[in-house]
């Protein structure tokens, strides 16, 4: 058999599987879009915890697909990621608190300066947290998967922001 004859089936095989991945990503995107639009129809007071869970499930699906996690990797990765996300959420909560206080211009200049310094400290803690967890992620997934994780987080956040923006625009009409 010639080398070309051997390569052709492999090329067709690769092309077939890349098409499958493309369609799986499209399907995941559509499912995520439907999920988020469904969430926008839910009432906020009663459905907020349920909405959070649905968003988390969509995020897990997107990340697992984009990072191409094996079962073993997923079982090690998600506890580490959930811990990271919890700590990151606490820092963001503190940041929102100080941002809100700083916007209140009726407080003293000393208090504003103190809050601004605390905001910088929180940002530094965020960087330190990312550095720490990057090391932890690298123990369970590859560097390429960590890079894809960061890209996937940005993509997911952009998709959520677009959905929220559309929802707000639809509510204004």
Q: What CA–CA distance (Å, rounded) separates 156 from 85?
A: 14
Dump pLDDT digits (tens) for 105-133: 788 888 888 888 999 999 999 999 999 99
With contact defined as beta carbons under 8 Å apart, do 28 and 62 qualify? yes
pTM of the model: 0.66
With a cut of 80, say whether residue 138 has pLDDT above it. yes
| Residue spans per domain, the chain | 1-69+161-173, 70-140
H-run or E-run covering 55: helix 44-67
Under CATH, which number does the domain 70-140 receive? 1.20.120
Q: What CA–CA distance (Å, rounded) separates 149 from 171?
A: 33
Work out the mean pLDDT of the chain and round it to a whole number: 80
What mean pLDDT comes out for the span 127-143? 97
DSSP state of 107: S
Tell me the two tokens of residue 11.
Answer: 């090329």
Dump pLDDT digits (tens) for 146-155: 999 999 999 9
CA angle 31, 34, 35 (to 5 degrees): 85
């Amino acid at each position: 058999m010639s080398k070309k004859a051997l390569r052709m089936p492999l090329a067709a095989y690769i092309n077939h599987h890349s098409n499958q991945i493309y369609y799986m990503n499209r399907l995941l995107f559509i499912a995520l879009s439907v999920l988020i639009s469904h969430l926008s129809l839910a009432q906020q007071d009663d459905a907020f915890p349920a909405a959070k869970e649905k968003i988390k499930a969509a995020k897990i699906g997107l990340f697992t697909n984009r990072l191409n996690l094996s079962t073993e990797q997923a079982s090690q990765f998600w506890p580490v990621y959930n811990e990271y996300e919890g700590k990151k959420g606490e820092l963001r909560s503190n940041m929102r608190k100080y941002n809100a206080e700083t916007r209140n211009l009726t407080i003293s200049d000393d208090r504003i300066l103190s809050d601004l310094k605390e905001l910088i400290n929180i940002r530094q803690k965020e960087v330190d947290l990312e550095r720490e967890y990057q090391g932890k992620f690298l123990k369970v997934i590859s560097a390429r998967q960590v890079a894809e994780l960061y890209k996937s987080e940005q993509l997911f956040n952009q998709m959520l922001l677009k959905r929220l923006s559309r929802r707000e625009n639809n509510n204004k009409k």
